[in-house]
């Protein structure tokens, strides 16, 4: 079984959103092509889904500004602008994304005391989301990961896929992803490669 995992392609991470990723919206037509191409047996999406008082928000820490480095439950934590608050338009998937094709949606980041970059488990690795169990139950053998943001949620999801699903072949679709910072993207791609993730371009998949 071949699965596509689309990470956090939500209004909040696109231009006009609360935590915009540069060119975040430009990946939507590419992801739609991948969905419509029929190369995948299973389409899975993650959705950053924070309560309004989430501890990763600078607004919850007096004196902190967005993008400052702070702590959350004793761990280093980037202080983000309020984003992807449950039930708000900022948390909705991009309106052009073909969400009808989704077989499964994994929400994450609901615990106010810990952030969850990975779609598989919280940053402290104490709680798992259930996504690994779902993919195992579906007998997934190949997992292609794309979305937003390459240097945070995409990277940590791909690394956790390698770690938690060691028999699954994991690929990162570079042009169907965008990151917050250019140097962070470069480091993230190196880290993913190091962990055994193959880097591919959507055209390689669409040509098959
Ligand atoms: C993300 C920062 C905070 C992401 C989510 O989807 O990459 N980044 N929350
Ligand atoms: Zn978040």
| 134-151 pLDDT per residue, tens | 999 999 999 999 999 999
Edge-first strand order for the sheet with 169-178 is: 104-108, 42-48, 2-7, 142-148, 169-178, 198-200
Q: Report the pLDDT value the prediction gives residue 208, as an integer from 0 to 100.
A: 73
Count of structural domains within the chain = 1
State the DSSP code for 1: -
Q: Does a structural domain hold residue 62?
A: no
Per-residue pLDDT of 15-29, as tens digits, reads 999 999 999 999 999
> Could you please report the per-residue DSSP string of 81-143?
PS--BTTSGGGSBPTTS-GGG-SEEEEE---TTS---SSSB-TTSSSB-SHHHHHHHTT--EE
Q: Does a structural domain hold residue 34?
A: yes
Q: Report the pLDDT value the prediction gives residue 91, as an integer from 0 to 100.
A: 98
For CA atoms 66, 192, 106, 20, the dihedral sign is positive
Q: Does a structural domain hold residue 75?
A: no
pLDDT band for position 11 (cuts 50, 70, 90) = very high
- The alpha carbon of 207 and the centre of ligand 1 are apart by a number of angstroms equal to 31
Domain that holds residue 118: 2-51+84-206
- The alpha carbon of 115 and the centre of ligand 2 are apart by a number of angstroms equal to 7
Total-model pTM: 0.98
Residue 22 CA to residue 58 CA, distance in Å, equals 21
What CATH number does residue 143 fall under?
3.40.50.850
What three-state secondary structure class fits 132? helix
Measured by CA distance, the residue closest to atom 4 of ligand 1 is 153
Judge if the beta carbon of residue 149 lies within 6 A of ligand 1: yes
Q: Report the pLDDT value the prediction gives residue 207, as an integer from 0 to 100.
A: 80
Whether residue 111 contacts residue 143, with contact meaning beta carbons closer than 8 Å, is answered with: no
- The alpha carbon of 140 and the centre of ligand 2 are apart by a number of angstroms equal to 27
What three-state secondary structure class fits 68? coil
Per-residue pLDDT of 179-194, as tens digits, reads 999 999 999 999 999 9
Largest CA distance in the chain: 53
Residue 48 is among the residues annotated as catalytic for this protein: no
Whether residue 153 contacts residue 21, with contact meaning beta carbons closer than 8 Å, is answered with: no
Task: State the catalytic residue, choosing from 82, 84, 108, 115.
Answer: 108
Q: Does a structural domain hold residue 74?
A: no
pLDDT band for position 198 (cuts 50, 70, 90) = very high
Judge if the beta carbon of residue 80 lies within 6 A of ligand 1: yes
Residue 100 is among the residues annotated as catalytic for this protein: no
What three-state secondary structure class fits 150? helix
* pLDDT-above-70 percentage for the chain: 100
Q: Does a structural domain hold residue 108?
A: yes
Q: Report the mean per-residue pLDDT for the chain.
A: 97
Q: Does a structural domain hold residue 93?
A: yes
């Amino acid at each position: 079984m071949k699965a596509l995992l689309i990470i956090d392609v939500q209004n909040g991470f696109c231009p006009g959103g609360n935590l915009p990723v540069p060119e975040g919206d430009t990946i939507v037509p590419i992801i739609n092509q991948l969905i419509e191409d029929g190369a995948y047996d299973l389409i899975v999406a993650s959705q950053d889904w924070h309560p309004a008082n989430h501890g990763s928000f600078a607004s919850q820490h007096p004196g902190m500004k967005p993008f400052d480095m702070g702590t959350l439950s004793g761990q280093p934590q980037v202080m983000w602008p309020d984003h992807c608050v449950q039930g708000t338009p900022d948390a909705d998937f991009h309106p052009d994304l073909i969400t009808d094709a989704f077989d499964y949606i994994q929400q994450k980041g609901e615990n106010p005391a810990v952030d969850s970059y990975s779609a598989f488990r919280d940053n402290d690795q104490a709680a798992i989301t259930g996504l690994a169990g779902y993919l195992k139950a579906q007998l997934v053998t190949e997992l292609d990961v794309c979305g937003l943001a390459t240097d945070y949620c995409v990277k940590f999801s791909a690394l956790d896929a390698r770690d938690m699903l060691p028999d699954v072949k994991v690929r990162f679709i570079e042009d169907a992803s965008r990151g917050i910072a250019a140097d962070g993207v470069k480091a993230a791609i190196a880290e993913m490669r190091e962990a055994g993730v193959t880097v591919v371009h959507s055209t390689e998949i669409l040509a098959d």
